[in-house]
């Protein structure tokens, strides 16, 4: 089986689109996109915010975006299928999958595993300036920033909800499957 098929992925997209967006647009200038489905297919879509804040380029419905927190369920299901197939190991140092060292700078000798990433105990943390990897941004460069990490707890020792865990997981899936994550998970 190539990955998670249409039903769970469509459910994730549908649930992400169920959030009320009209009120949130006025509250904060963050970039976001949404799509809604009915039995006949796509019913509507929207995009608001900037795809490239540095250049001032507006986000369009054709720009790739992450599905948000509900996508974590679909990602975890997909990862567990790869674990069942023997392609991934929850306890293995993810640096071996990534091809570069992923370490909390405060704990450079502590490996980070898929179990840590999926369970929000990797040491990564969301901050004011670091919440997601911007379009065109580099995962490796973002992970090298000290502000992406919590200094007080070693990997596997403390739960801190962090969206940053999941771009790392997606990159691992891409390296293992040799397929772009969004195509593999659909």
The predicted structure's pLDDT at residue 152: 86
The predicted structure's pLDDT at residue 65: 66
Q: Quick one: what percent of the chain has pLDDT higher than 70? A: 77
The predicted structure's pLDDT at residue 108: 95
Distance of CA 37 to the CA centre of its chain: 22
The predicted structure's pLDDT at residue 100: 97
The predicted structure's pLDDT at residue 31: 65
The predicted structure's pLDDT at residue 66: 58
pTM: 0.69
Q: For 10-57, how does the pLDDT look when each residue is reduced to its tens digit (9 = 90+)?
A: 444 443 433 333 333 334 445 666 777 777 776 788 888 888 878 888
Helix (H) or strand (E) holding 95: helix 95-98
The predicted structure's pLDDT at residue 57: 87
pLDDT below 50 — which residues of the chain?
A: 1-29
The predicted structure's pLDDT at residue 154: 94
């Amino acid at each position: 089986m190539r990955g998670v098929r249409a039903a769970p992925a469509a459910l994730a997209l549908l649930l992400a689109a169920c959030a009320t967006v009209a009120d949130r647009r006025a509250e904060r200038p963050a970039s976001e996109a949404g799509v809604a489905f009915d039995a006949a297919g796509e019913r509507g879509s929207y995009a608001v915010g900037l795809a490239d804040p540095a250049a001032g380029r507006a986000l369009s419905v054709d720009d790739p975006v992450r599905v948000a927190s509900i996508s974590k369920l679909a990602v975890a299901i997909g990862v567990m299928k790869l674990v069942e197939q023997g392609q991934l190991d929850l306890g293995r140092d993810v640096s071996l999958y990534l091809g570069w060292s992923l370490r909390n700078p405060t704990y450079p000798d502590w490996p980070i595993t898929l179990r840590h990433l999926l369970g929000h105990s990797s040491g990564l943390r969301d901050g004011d300036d670091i919440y997601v990897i911007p379009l065109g941004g580099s995962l490796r460069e973002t992970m090298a920033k000290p502000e992406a990490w919590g200094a007080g707890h070693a990997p596997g020792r403390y739960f801190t909800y962090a969206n940053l865990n999941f771009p790392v997981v997606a990159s691992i899936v891409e390296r293992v499957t040799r397929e772009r994550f969004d195509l593999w998970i659909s």
